Structure formats: structure tokens, C-alpha cells
Amino acid sequence: MKVAAAILSVACLCLSGTASGAPGDDDFLALRDALRGKDKSKLEAQVQRLKGHVLEPYAAYWVLRQQLDEAEPAAVRAFLAEYKDTYVAERMRAAWLKRLGKEQQWAVFDAERPALVKDDPEIQCYTVQARVRGDAGAVREARPLWFTGKSTPDSCAPLFAMLAANGQLSVQDIWARVRLALAAGQVGVAVRAADYLPPGQPLNGKLLYAVSQNPAAHLARPFDAASRAARETTMFAAYRLARSSPSQAAARWAALESRFTEEERAFVWGHIGLQGALRHDPQALSWYAKAGDMDDFQLEWKARAALRAGDWKTLIAAVDAMVKENQDSPWRYWKARALKATGRDAEALVLLKPLSQEYLFYGQLALEELGGKVAVPPPAYTPSAAEVQAMSQNPGIRRALALYGLGLRPEASGEWTWTIRTFDDRQLLTAAEVAKRNGGIPDRVINTADKTVAQHDFRLRYFAPYRDLLRVHAKRNDLDESWVLGLIRQESRFMTDIRSSAGAMGLMQLMPGTAQWVANKMGLKNWRWSGVTDVDTNLSLGTYYLRHVYDYLDGNAVLASAAYNAGPGRAKAWRPERFMEAAAWAETIPFNETRHYVKLVMANASYYAHLLGQQVQSLKARIGDVGPAREEKPLGDTP
């Protein structure tokens, strides 16, 4: 009861007051440190000192969250009522629901569940568990959660057990998940799924792990084709081998497939085709031709293989087979191009016209395909000083700005994103203007303005701080300033101190090895990694390196953009044997991140060129073609 009372006193702190005149930021950081050290004797005193501070809700959240396992419902409900509709309330409710589900406190769970805004798989499974209490048939709602090759939360396990016990998981359903897991390389998930199989159909987990390490060796061994487990294991070996050598896997599978069912043969060919397409193997489409039903990921890569081969009819068929919701802008554009190439212009126009209204890579290309010229729309709305002032007093915006000021970027970004989630276009532009005027958070300027649907301001969407310095370095390295801006927008959103999960730092997201290599090339003495977030230093090193990869890749900005993201060795390996449209080449980049990155960088560059008042090329002219190297160049000591 003492813990509950202490938490309740924290939760009932009022939100009135502002940061100015209230106990300061040092108290807030001291509370965070006390929580990290679990020094409970200091917590209540620190919280009381933060009464009235703009970040008071976070103080209450941190204390209650640390003690949530011991908290009574009254304490949690008091917190949720006090901070209703805030980001911390949503986080607290999600954490509490998981505790309630784990403890099977279903009455409380049912009462609180409807107020949660953002769902996740763990809570989904607890939700179904709660429904099963009053309706045993509700367990069928868990069936869609079963059919995945990925690991599922522990909260799903009781549901899967009930499905199996009620006869709602057939043997075929169990094998379906085993196969999905093996196709995804998740041997552990496959083995756990196989636990639901009836006696006499064992799956050898130890053997599967061995196959994952040496699939070719397994394919050379005899197997019992009458055993489902033996067949699935051999199929796993075939598409596991395809990850490293699609052609070798195809040859091995062709020699074995007669011992498998028609459905099994087609399934494996679909995966061999996928791996071939990912490696730009010219035989990929012939392997795909032997496949049966495929998921959208396989179909997308079939379409990309067809695009690279210039096979418009196969591309149309692959796109038509996709789930309609997944036919996003790349496939609407390329299907339209395929329709035009096959004489179906009227059908192509139906796809191109709405796509041409979108301000993205394929929107620009669609507009040009219709004979239009890409331009930046005039600002549709400029908030007044009073509106900006009112937005700056929005409690969520105030909390986000305060968190940014304290260097608590993850919490600040979460708070900002939560606050603007329901904003209309005018509110979004006003919030973006607040971020711009507060400085230091250009990512919020860009990301917020980027969300508008009908009313846009490209001065905010394509915000360009540090231009005076950037112009100097771009000119020094003879680089197109709009391209460098487009690249930085994608790399860091102009955040100077941002650090990626891989360790890249600063505006141009330099890795330590790359920065050191460039510093050596530039003859910089006394270079220290600690200086990489300095704007001038980062731009100096980053533009030098960008020029290096640009020259290495024959002055092709599309290839150089791919190299900047994935490395020059990969960009070189992805070059086609014949010239092709750069847009088509970019769409067939095998790395998801790099494929999206290149398209966004080049679309960004086009809009920045307009905003800078440069002589503007069409996007298609800007990106041009991609082809084989003019001459073979060694990588040398490029990082």
C-alpha cells in the first residue's frame, strides 16, 4: 500500500505551470538519474520539486513505470486520467495491458483495452485471450496470427495451443507455418511450430540447423520422399542454397523435383526465382515461370526481373497478381509504362493521371510521362504570428521542445509524433514553422511538413539549413548543390548530432572508417573523430567522399547515391551489362533501404533545384541512364 500511495501522489500532480519559473531542468535530469540508480528514497522528493514543470508528466511516468509490477489499479487509473490523451498515457496503458494480460486480469484488461490507440502483436494476442473467456469460438481470431514465418510473442502461445486442442489447426496448417519459417530462415520458429504435429511426424531440429549451414551437402544425400518432414527439410536445403547460388540450387532442384508434389515443386521454384531476381540473374524469369502461387514480395521481384529484362507482358501479369493494396506508386508507374509499351495507352492514362499528383519520385516521372513539367507548388498556407504562438503553447509541442532541449531525442520525437498525429494540413504547417523557429530540430520541420495532404509548403518540406557552408563545399568539389541537399535530407534531415544504429554521425552520416580515410586523403592533421559532428568538418569530409564515389562511378549521380548508402563495391556489382533507364535500375536495387534511398535522394534533388532557382532539368533527364563501366577501375583503398 505504501508503494501504491506514493505512486498515486505522483500521478495526481497537476499539469499547470510552465518550465519558466518552475523548478528547472536540473531537477528533471536528477530524477532520471535517481531512477536509473533505483534510489527510491530520492524519488518522491525529486517528483515534488518538479511540480508545475512542463515535463512533469514524464517524471510521473518514469516513477510509475518503474514500479508498475507492484502498482494497484487505482494508481494507474489516476495517472491515465491525469494525463489523458498524452503520449506517456498511451505508453503507460500499453505497458499496463501487457501486465494485465500476463496476469490474466481480464476484467480490468477489457475495461482499459478500448482506449489504446496503437496496437501490437502481444496485445492482440492478449485481446483474443480475453474474448475467449466469454466465447470459446473467439479463439479462431488467432488463426491469422499463426500463419507467419516470424517469431510471435509469448502471449500468442496459449491461443495456438487452444487452436490445436480444438482441432482448428490442421496438420496442413502446422506444416504451412513450418514452411513459412524455413523459407524465412527461422529454424527455431519452424521447430517450435512442429511441436504441434501429431506423433509420427517429427521434424529434426538439429538436422535443420546443419542444413542451414551446408545446404549443398544435404541435397547430395538420399532422403525418404514418403516422409513430409524429409521433403520439407530437402526443400529448405534448396531455397537455402538459392540464397548464395540460385543457379546451383536450380540445377540441384531440377534433379530432385520429380520426387515431390506439384505444389512443392512450384513453391521451391518461386523461391529460387526470387533469389535469382535479387541477384539480377538473367535466368530468374525462367525459374519464376515454374512457380505457383506467390506472395507479394516474390511477385514484386518477379516484376523487377521483368523490368530489368524489358519483358512488359510479364511485368503486367506480376503486378496484376499482387494484392491490390500493395500496388503502390512503383507498380502503378511501371504497369502504366508497360501498358503504353504494349499499345494500351488509354489504360496507362488511368494510372498515370492520379499518380502525377503525388510529390514523390514516381509522381514526378508520371507527370513527365504525361508531358507536364515538375515544379514546386506555391505555399498554400502560411500561419500567422498568432497561430504560431498558439501552437507553441500546445502542451505536447511544449513537452517535445523541452525534451529536445535536454538532449532526450527519442522521447522528444515520440512526443512530437504523437502530438501531431491528428493535425490537419494547416496545423501541420504551423507546427513545422514552430520547429523551424526553435532551431536545432530540422527533422521535425521536414517530417511534419511532409505529412500534409492537400496544402503544402515546400520551403518547409524541403528545408535547407546550413546552405552558406554547404554551397562552399559543393562548389569546392564541383558537386550539384541540389543533389547534395537531397542526399543530406535523406541521410540526416539536417540533424548535426544524429547517430545511426551503425555508428554513422553528423549531417552526411559518416562512418568512422570513411571519415578517417577521407581525412587522410585530404591531408588533415590532428584529425579526431570527436569533431565529426561539426557542420563545417562534416560537410568537408562528406562532400569530398561523395565526389570520390561520383568519379569512381563515371560521374553518374544515381550510382553514386547508391554507393554513398551501400558502398561503392555494391553499386559497382549492381551495374547492368547494358544501358537501361536509371529509374528502372534504381527499382531493381536488391537492398530495400538503398532502393528507397536512391529514389528519394533524386526526387529531393529535383525539388531543391526548383527552390534554389537553378535551371531545372526534368527528373528523367537528371537521372539519365545506367550502364556498364566505361573502363574497369580498381576500388583501391576506398573504404
CATH number at residue 579: 1.10.530.10
pLDDT of residue 40: 64
Specify if 618 maps to a domain: yes
pLDDT per residue over 37-46, tens digit each? 666 666 777 7
pLDDT per residue over 608-626, tens digit each? 999 998 877 789 999 999 9
Last residue of a domain, one of 414, 441, 459: 459
Asked if pLDDT for residue 468 goes beyond 80, the answer is yes
Query: Which of 44, 491, 577, 587 does the annotation list as catalytic?
Result: 491
Specify if 254 maps to a domain: yes
Residue 546's nearest CA partner among 638, 442, 446, 443 is: 638
- Model confidence band, residue 635 (pLDDT cutoffs 50, 70, 90): low
List the CATH number of the domain containing 147: 1.25.20.10
Specify if 320 maps to a domain: no
Same-domain pairing of 14 and 61: yes
Span 228-247, average pLDDT: 97
Last residue of a domain, one of 311, 327, 355: 311
What mean pLDDT is reported for the chain?
Answer: 92
Same-domain pairing of 283 and 409: no
Asked if pLDDT for residue 14 goes beyond 70, the answer is no
Helix (H, G, I), strand (E, B) or coil at 160: helix
- Model confidence band, residue 4 (pLDDT cutoffs 50, 70, 90): very low
pLDDT per residue over 358-391, tens digit each? 999 999 999 999 999 988 999 999 999 999 999 9
Q: Looking at per-residue confidence, does 95 or 35 come out higher? A: 95
Same-domain pairing of 401 and 476: no
pLDDT per residue over 271-283, tens digit each? 999 999 999 999 9
Q: Helix count (H) and strand count (E) of the chain?
A: 38, 2
- Model confidence band, residue 11 (pLDDT cutoffs 50, 70, 90): very low
Same-domain pairing of 486 and 435: no
Q: How many CB atoms lie within 10 A of CB 75?
A: 23
Percent of the chain with pLDDT over 70: 95
Same-domain pairing of 504 and 585: yes
Same-domain pairing of 112 and 164: no
Q: Which domain holds residue 72?
A: 2-118
One-letter amino acid at 409 equals R
- Model confidence band, residue 526 (pLDDT cutoffs 50, 70, 90): confident
Domain count, the chain: 4
Same-domain pairing of 447 and 474: no
Asked if pLDDT for residue 171 goes beyond 60, the answer is yes
pLDDT of residue 281: 97
pTM: 0.92
- Model confidence band, residue 92 (pLDDT cutoffs 50, 70, 90): very high
Task: For residue 62, give the H/E element and its range.
Answer: helix 56-66
Same-domain pairing of 148 and 202: yes
Same-domain pairing of 428 and 496: no
Any catalytic annotation for residue 593? no
Same-domain pairing of 451 and 411: yes
Asked if pLDDT for residue 259 goes beyond 50, the answer is yes
Specify if 80 maps to a domain: yes
Least confident of 8-22, 35-49, 546-560: 8-22
Specify if 325 maps to a domain: no
Specify if 332 maps to a domain: no
Specify if 432 maps to a domain: yes
Same-domain pairing of 212 and 283: yes
Burial class (CB in 10 A: 0-12, 13-18, 19+), 630: exposed
Is 629 in contact with 577 (CB distance < 8 Å)? no
Last residue of a domain, one of 311, 337, 363: 311
Specify if 156 maps to a domain: yes
Eight-state DSSP code of residue 142: G
Same-domain pairing of 144 and 105: no
